[in-house]
């Protein structure tokens, strides 16, 4: 039998953004060699919108994969799909019903809650990063998922905030030559602590630029010999505690963040989203 030349199309439909429906569909499609077009259709929140989507799918000879949380919309999708001979696959309904049985309570059926929880998580994480910047509230770092340590100007704060925006609970602690680090660091799992370092010459340049802006800094703050001693001291500290190291020299914050997450968890930065 000859293969159909008509392109395969899947509508990923949701009453939210449609991201989950699309991701699940694309993940499943990796198991098939055919080229399939996935069209994401979000914010479907009325029966009339469901009808329009099904009619469009019928015209395109597409199938529909959806994550509608409303029971009424799921039922409408089923009925309209049957009426227009469109195959529809409900990803959310069976899961919601099973969870309802297990938890003994009905689902809220409110679209967009996952997105709101993600937003709230990011707000919480950014607040945590700001409250635990530069060694503040160090005893609370037991609640951190990632703790960045390093001498001054190794990029601890911007990296902390970037990771926090991606949903990670991050704190950072400065390493000062000859000064003991907070005791809490020795109680943390070593894989949760990441040491940041920068090439001494580059670090001295960064500090010289800061000295020009802040005249109150100590005289040897940007001195290359002193900077080298600080970097060596910090690297020795990292080694003794078994903390992994990320070299921040000329490294964009996005790249550094991905490296940090990979070291801490063994997976990519995107997998937190």
Question: Where would I find the beta strands (DSSP E) of the chain?
Answer: 8-13, 36-41, 63-66, 88-90, 146-150, 170-174, 193-197, 244-247
Q: Please state, in angstroms and rounded to a whole number, the distance separating the CA atoms of residues 226 and 229.
A: 5
The confidence score (pLDDT) of residue 117 equals: 64
- Cα 207 to Cα 201, 215, 219, 237: the distances in Å are 10, 12, 11, 21
The confidence score (pLDDT) of residue 214 equals: 76
The confidence score (pLDDT) of residue 5 equals: 53
The confidence score (pLDDT) of residue 270 equals: 52
- Opening angle at CA 215, ends 213 and 217, nearest 5: 105
The confidence score (pLDDT) of residue 212 equals: 82
Residues of the chain with pLDDT under 70: 1-6, 112-117, 119, 215-218, 267-273
Q: Please state, in angstroms and rounded to a whole number, the distance separating the CA atoms of residues 114 and 94.
A: 18
Whole-prediction pTM: 0.61
């Amino acid at each position: 039998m000859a293969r159909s030349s008509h392109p395969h199309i899947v509508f990923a439909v949701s009453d939210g953004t449609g991201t989950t429906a699309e991701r699940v569909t694309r993940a499943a499609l990796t198991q098939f060699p055919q080229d399939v077009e996935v069209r994401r259709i979000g914010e479907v929140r009325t029966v009339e919108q469901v009808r329009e989507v099904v009619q469009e799918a019928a015209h395109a000879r597409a199938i529909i994969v959806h994550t509608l949380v409303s029971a009424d919309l799921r039922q409408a999708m089923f009925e309209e799909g049957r009426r227009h001979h469109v195959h529809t696959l409900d990803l959310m309904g069976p899961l919601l019903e099973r969870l309802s049985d297990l938890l003994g309570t009905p689902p809220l059926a409110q679209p967009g809650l996952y997105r709101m929880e993600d937003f709230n998580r990011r707000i919480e994480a950014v607040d945590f990063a700001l409250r635990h910047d530069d060694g503040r509230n160090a005893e609370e770092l037991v609640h951190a998922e990632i703790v960045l340590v390093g001498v001054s100007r190794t990029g601890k704060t911007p990296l902390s905030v970037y990771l926090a925006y991606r949903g990670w609970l991050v704190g950072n602690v400065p390493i000062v030559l000859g000064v003991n680090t907070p005791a809490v660091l020795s109680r943390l799992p070593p894989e949760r602590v990441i040491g940041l370092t920068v090439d001494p010459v580059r670090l001295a340049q960064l500090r010289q630029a800061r000295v020009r802006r802040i005249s109150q800094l100590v005289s040897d703050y940007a001195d290359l010999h002193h900077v080298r001693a600080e970097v060596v001291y910090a690297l020795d500290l990292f080694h003794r505690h078994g903390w992994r190291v990320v070299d921040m020299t000329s490294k964009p914050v996005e790249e550094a963040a991905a490296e940090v997450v990979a070291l801490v968890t063994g997976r990519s930065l995107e997998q937190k989203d």
